């Protein structure tokens, strides 16, 4: 039984250039909530399922401890956050 929705054989069939795990959860992308077993705290869906594109561009955070830094204003890669 699977614990998380991860990039696996199902995803590879739809996205052949993605790095994947050698398992098959049956979902190429998102899965319905609580499709997998909960973790030890009885929480569902903390790993896998969704990534969020953020407004920030990838880069170093300011060293001065700024609250909610936005990062560089331009760049080559957007920040992705989440448990995917």
Q: What is the DSSP string of 18-68?
A: S---S---S-SS---TT-S---TTS----SBS-EEEEEEES-PPPTT--SS
pLDDT digits (tens, 9 = 90+) for 45-81: 777 656 677 777 887 777 777 787 777 778 888 777 7
- Please name the residue that has the structure tokens 């052949």: 16
Does this model's pTM top 0.85? My answer is: no
Output 42 or 52, whichever has higher pLDDT.
Answer: 42
3-state secondary structure of 9: helix
Contact 75, 57 (CB under 8 A): yes
The predicted pLDDT at position 83 comes to 61
**On the CB side of 51, how many CA atoms lie within 13 Å of its CA?**
10
Give the Cα separation of 21 and 34 in Å (integer): 21
């Amino acid at each position: 039984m699977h614990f998380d929705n991860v990039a696996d054989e199902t995803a590879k069939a739809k996205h052949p250039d993605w790095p994947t795990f050698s398992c098959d959860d049956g979902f190429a992308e998102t899965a319905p909530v609580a499709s997998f077993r909960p973790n030890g705290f009885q929480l569902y869906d903390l790993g896998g399922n969704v990534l969020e594109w953020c407004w920030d561009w990838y880069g170093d955070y300011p060293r001065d401890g700024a609250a909610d830094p936005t990062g560089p204003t331009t760049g080559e890669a957007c920040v992705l956050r989440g448990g995917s």
